[in-house]
Structure 1
Amino acid sequence: MIDAFSWIAVFPELVLLVMACAITLLDLLVKSRLRTGSFALTLITLGAVAILQAFYANTGATVYGLSNTVVSDPMGNWLKCFSAFAVMITLIYGRAYAGDRDMLRGGELFSLSLFALLGMFIMIGGNNFLMIYLGLELLTLSSYALVALRRDHGQSTEAAMKYFVLGSLASGLLLYGLSMMYGATGTLNINEVFRVTNSDLVNPQVLTFGVVFVVAGLAFKLGVAPFHMWIPDVYQGAPTAVTLMIGGAPKLAAFAIVIRLLVEGMLPLWFDWQQMLMILAVASLLVGNFAAIAQTNLKRMLAFSTIAQMGFVLLGLMSGVVNGHAGFAANAYSSAMFYILSYVLTTLAAFGIILLLAREGFESEEIADLSGLNQRSPLYAAVMAICLFSLAGIPPMVGFYAKLSVLQALIASGSLVNLGIAIFAVIMSLIGAFYYLRVVKVMYFDAPVAQGPASEGVRAPFGTRAVLTVNGLLVLVLGILPGGLMILCARAVVQMLSA
């Protein structure tokens, strides 16, 4: 029997599930080329679910449901809220792009996006190994279909195949690791896993092997080196609207399951998984920044940039426990949460520019396609410059304070190793600034293309331009006034740890 608290804990997910099914059916009656009815209903659903999650987060309550398999807490609620808004913004930016490329023959883009978001919600709120894996598979299966949605495009089909093969391998690694943890602890419940691993009643060798496979699976979902092989090819090959769909909101869900599994479930094994995260972070900063320098394709450059950015997230996650003391956990994990939110916000605007510059038969995904953008559209050039400065960590953009908060968490731990890694991360950021500033130079100082699609003026609906402007301003304003978002992250993480 399901009690009242179970319904409260999963009510937003039930709303999203019902609306996703309803939109899938109602789309059969929609005849417009851009699926106006389905699009409007999807945005209303996303807005309502986001507001509902924000309301849950503001209550500050932690509610367990469905026999303790799901949890609704402030950290998870805020991540779900931001995920819903990220999917909403992605669809606003990508609708015209999808329509021009015959991706809206049906309403699959909208229904698959909603089911992918439902998978994210289940991942973020999972308090049980099977529940987290169920959400992960719902997200990944929807993502495979989205990447292949442009059926007659060879590059998209190739990207979908690569994503499917490597994604299946990563899911297998994670599932094998979780099965080993279950075999060692005798439970699938994350709270019980924490209790058992905190005792001396289990075989440490089995636990260590389980943690290795779990971290490997999580590393793939985050897209960090050396599990990054899929990121450049999928980002470049997928339709740009889908690239933003898999490169934005899912990062929040991936961050959430790292917290659920490693922090809430396996914190007593901190010595094992923090060492692995340290190696992954250093490798990601090296591979991501140096590989991005050689890229001429903007989407591929941003893909390698993502690898480096996720390396910074891992730096925050690896500095929570020092010498067995978890006194720095709240500071470290809240800095990582602040970083991932800042990154997703910036990524939405950056890929939004690429989407709005594209037109039928022209992708605008080469760096050279942005030549003289400031002369064609000062607004778009300014928003793109703000995003690039933020990704590079240049003040006063929000990316600067995100990097600063992670570095502060590393240094505050008092560990000499962490201090050395912080210095290394600063050097890598300086190297990474080169390829971001190169794009700014192309937009502002290179001559515009004389003829062809890249030389045409930029046109977009007023609503889309307004959303893009607000998106870009948020990257700037949250950099000037980062305190509110930082406090939100800190409170959410403290409530998660105390629960």
Structure 2
Amino acid sequence: MNLTINWVATVPLAIVLGAAVLGTLLEAFLPRSVRRVAQIGLSLIALAATFIAIIWRWKDLSSQENPGILRPLSLSDSAAFSGVSLVEDGFSILGQAVILICAFLAFMLIADRTLLRDGSFAASAATRPGSAEERESTEAAREQTEVFPLALFATGGMMAFVSAFDLLTMFIALELLSLPLYVLSATARRRRLLSQEAALKYFLLGAFSSAVFLMGAAFIYGATGTLSFYGVAILAQQQQATMMFLAVGAIMLVIGLLFKVGAVPFHSWTPDVYQGAPTPITGFMAAGTKAAAFVAMVRVFLWIVGVVPDAFRIFMWIVIIATIVVGTVMGLVQTDIKRLLAYSSIAHAGFILIAVNATLANINGIQLAALGAVIFYLLAYGLATIGAFGVVTLVRAKDSAGSVLGEATLISQWAGLGKRNPFLATAMLVFLLSFAGIPLTAGFIGKFEVFATGIAAGDTVLVIIAIIASVVTAFFYFRLIQLMFFTEPDEDQIEIVSSEGLSVVAISVALAGTIVLGIFPSPILDFIAGIF
């Protein structure tokens, strides 16, 4: 069997993963004093180069007669899509572009340090919290620069995840993006025990969800004899598959992906991990992992779930309604801002699932509309999320002696932020308004596109529930806004720290993107619609 590989199409993925490998080597051979600068430069240059490569691949794809066609990165001359692992199409390119934008901004948060020279990461994550070794590492001002290659590996896994076209490759990509995040979640500089507990919960529940995903792939292989999306779809149409086993396998696949997006009842890890992980990693996970998982989920729906849609209608309605309701109700009672954003992310996952579920509707044009709605929502949500967590990194608590501590995550501590630092408070205001779906923000356009897709697919009841939930979620967003702008500040509670500037740049870019996409969405929406 002759196998043809499209090496040129692998360039974006090769740049990211190659930079991750090079970063690992730099950790081994460079002196400690220059590692941080080298790792930051390598990571940002690699992500920028990868984005340029994505633009090049899009131009190459759009120059074809049918730009919406799937282009396999490897192809056998004996059978169509035989042994295909990755594909290149408009949807994967858009998904990778969203992931890279979010990753670039998140890496600036990861790289930034305050003028106190205390970044978000432990001096040595391998030391026991409270031990003499930890104190020695902290006093020596050591830095955990391994986080950069780990985050690059996770980014490469996300990019491979959205391009995977068989279940084995999808599983490998899932583990590639997950394993570094398990480690990164345990590297917080402060509240180390909480960080390690969060990482352990994330690892155990993530391993369970991966096992469910893998078992689903086994069911599908048993029903069809293939792991290729194309092969599953063809054999199912030809009635050469055991449909009951195929339906069970598809449900288990989707459950594994629902864990990654934080949908109910697979969401229990989300608030603990969001709270315990280093804040830049929380933003990276919230934006990048969600984008990768939703794009992969849409591909699974189009090629596998679409052949057994009747088995999913009630299941998806239950999951969507539960996700929206739990995310909304639990968000109302939160007093920690990171847990508040965690439950907010759960509610947003429910909103996006409305568009994902719309791909099952047998209506002309609805699938393309759903794809565009998902991509735009992920971009809008990713910008606002990274910007919001960027603000959190710069608002610090103080003790009674006036010493600056970790992030001020208690919502009550944000009282009067508008007077203390108008820029950060205004940026947070815009991000919260975008989460709430207020007009002239990107979040409003994203929700409008998703809800319009749901109505077109006949899921009007789901859209009504989502609209009601959006109104309710606005309450806890406006509660924080009221504290920031209409409550007198307590000078003894918080300190707005100055940083090297990367966080401010990331917040400013996210702020500009949220406003521009809200006021002038048409060019991006038209571009997304035209690439399919």
TM-score bracket, shorter-length normalisation? over 0.9
1:141 equivalenced with 2:179 (yes/no)? yes
CA 431–344 in structure 1, closer or farther in 2 if over 3 Å, else same = same
Letter in 2 for 1:79: G
| Aligned match for 2:95, one of 73, 79, 84 | 79
1:396 and 2:449 are equivalent in the alignment: no
**Alpha-carbon distance between aligned partners in 1 of 2:441 and 2:88, rounded to the nearest angstrom:** 32
Note the C-alpha offset of 1:167. Answer: 0.4
Count of matched residue positions in the alignment of Structure 1 and Structure 2 = 487
For residues 116 and 263 of structure 1, the distance between their equivalents in structure 2, rounded to whole angstroms, comes to 25
Structure in which a larger fraction of residues adopt helix: 1
Q: Does the CA contact (< 8 Å) of 1:9 and 1:63 recur in 2?
A: no
**Structure 1 equivalent of residue 390 of structure 2:** 352
Within 5 A, what are the aligned runs for 1:215-294? 215-294=254-333
Given candidates 135, 159, 165, the residue that maps to 1:121 is 159
Q: 1:273 to 1:490 in 2, by over 3 A?
A: farther
Residue 363 (structure 1) aligns with: 407
Per the TM alignment, residue 259 of structure 1 is displaced from its structure 2 partner at its CA by 1.8
CA contact (8 A) 1:211 1:272 kept: no
Secondary structure in 2 matching 1:35: helix
- Identify the residue that residue 525 of structure 2 maps to in structure 1: 486
SS in structure 2 of the partner of residue 362 of structure 1: strand
Query: Is the 1:33–1:105 contact (alpha carbons within 8 Å) kept by the matching residues of 2?
Result: no
- 8 Å contact kept, 1:349–1:471: yes
Structure 1 residue 78: Cα displacement: 2.0
Structure 1 residue 106, shift from structure 2 partner: 3.7
For 2:72, the aligned partner's letter is Y
Residue 7 of structure 2 is matched in structure 1 by: 7
Specify which of 462, 480, 483 is matched with residue 439 of structure 1: 480
CA distances 1:169-211 after superposition (whole Å, capped 9, x unpaired): 1011111111101110111111111111222222221112112
The residue type paired with residue 422 of structure 1 is: V
Specify whether residues 434 and 63 from structure 1 end up closer, same or farther in structure 2 by C-alpha distance, changes over 3 A only: same
Q: Distance between the aligned counterparts of 1:217 and 1:140, measured in 2?
A: 12
Equivalence for 1:338: 376
Note the 1:316-331 alignment, pairs <5 A: 316-322=355-361, 324-331=362-369
Q: In the TM superposition, what whole-angstrom CA distance separates every residue of 1:465-497 from its partner, at most 9, and x where no partner exists?
A: 2332121021011001111222233234xx3xx
Q: Does 1:419 align with 2:460?
A: yes
1:378 aligns with 2:422: yes
**Farther off after superposition, 277-286 or 195-204:** 195-204
Q: Contact 1:121–1:253 at 8 Å: present in 2 too? A: yes
In 2, the alpha carbon distance for the partners of 1:202 and 1:451 equals 67
Find out whether 1:213 has 2:233 as its counterpart: no
Alignment correspondent of 1:99: 119
Do the aligned partners of 2:120 and 2:278 also contact (CA within 8 Å) in 1? Answer: no
SS of match in other structure, 2:528: helix
Taking a change above 3 Å as real, the CA distance of residues 435 and 55 of structure 1, as seen in their structure-2 partners, is: same
Q: Which stretch of structure 1 is more off in the superposition, 97-106 or 178-187?
A: 97-106
1:63 corresponds to: 71
Contact 2:301 2:359 in 1 (8 A): no
Partner Cα separation in structure 2 for residue 13 and residue 130 of structure 1: 18
Letter in 1 for 2:205: L
User: Structure 2: how far apart are the matches of 1:307 and 1:408?
Assistant: 20
Contact residue 398 and residue 479 of structure 1 kept, 8 A: yes
State the distance in 2 between where 1:90 and 1:158 align. Answer: 23
Deviations 1:40-70 (A, max 9, x none): 1111111111111122123335421234211
Task: Determine if contact 2:416/2:486 at 8 Å carries over to the other structure.
Answer: yes
1:5-35 CA-partner distances (Å, limit 9, x unpaired): 4212222212222221111112341433881
Q: Match of 1:105, SS?
A: coil
Partner of 2:471: 430
Aligned residues of 2:302 and 2:360 also touching (Cα < 8 A): no
- Which amino acid is the alignment partner of residue 102 of structure 1? A
Structure 2: runs of 5+ lacking an equivalent: 62-66, 76-83, 124-141, 398-403
Q: Aligned to 2:241, what secondary structure does the other structure show?
A: coil
- Contact 2:394–2:407 (CA<8 Å) still a contact in 1? no
Look up the SS of the partner of 2:72 in the other structure: strand
In structure 1, give the amino acid aligned to 2:86.
V
Letter of the 1:82 counterpart: V
Alpha-carbon deviation of 1:369? 2.3
Gap runs ≥5 in structure 1: none
Q: SS of the counterpart of 1:179? A: helix
CA distance in 1, matches of 2:267, 2:148: 27
Please state how far the C-alpha of 1:326 moved relative to its aligned partner.
5.0
Question: Who is 2:38 aligned against?
Answer: 37
205-214 or 375-384: bigger deviation: 205-214
Q: Aligned partners of 1:491, 1:477: CA distance in 2, in Å?
A: 20
CA 1:444–1:30: 2 relative to 1, 3 Å: farther
Which runs of structure 1 show a deviation greater than 6 angstroms over 4 or more consecutive aligned residues?
1-4
Q: Distance in 1 between matches of 2:345 and 2:319?
A: 14
1:463 Cα shift?
Answer: 4.5
SS in 2 for 1:361: strand
- In structure 2, do the counterparts of structure 1 residues 366 and 34 end up closer, same or farther at CA, with 3 Å as the change threshold? farther
Kept in 2, the 8 Å contact 1:320–1:327? The answer is no
Tell whether the 8 Å contact from 2:91 to 2:371 is kept in structure 1 after alignment: no
What SS does structure 1 have at the residue aligned with 2:87?
strand
Distance across 2 between alignment mates of 1:268 and 1:325: 15
Aligned-partner residue type, residue 444 of structure 1: F
Indicate which of 117, 128, 150 corresponds to 1:112: 150
Q: State how far apart, in whole Å, the 2-side matches of 1:457 and 1:117 are.
A: 30
After TM superposition, the structure 1 stretch with the greater mean CA deviation from structure 2, 329-338 or 1-10, is: 1-10
Query: Which position in structure 2 is the counterpart of 1:450?
Result: 491
Per the alignment, residue 90 of structure 1 pairs with 106
SS of equivalent to 1:460: coil
Determine if contact 2:109/2:502 at 8 Å carries over to the other structure.
no
Instruction: Please give the alpha-carbon distance, in whole angstroms, between the structure 2 residues aligned to 1:351 and 1:185.
Output: 44
SS at match of 2:249: helix
> 2:188–2:276: 8 Å Cα contact kept in structure 1?
no
Shift of 1:281: 1.0
Per the normalisation by structure 2, the TM-score is 0.87
Matched with 1:51 is 52
Secondary structure of the 2:32 match is coil
Shift of 1:327: 3.8
Task: Please tell me whether the aligned partners of residues 372 and 448 of structure 1 are also in contact (alpha carbons under 8 angstroms).
Answer: yes
CA-atom RMSD in angstroms: 2.0
Q: Which moved further from structure 2: 249-258 or 324-333? A: 324-333
**Within 5 A, what are the aligned runs for 1:199-210?**
199-210=238-249
Q: Identity rate of aligned residues, in percent? A: 32
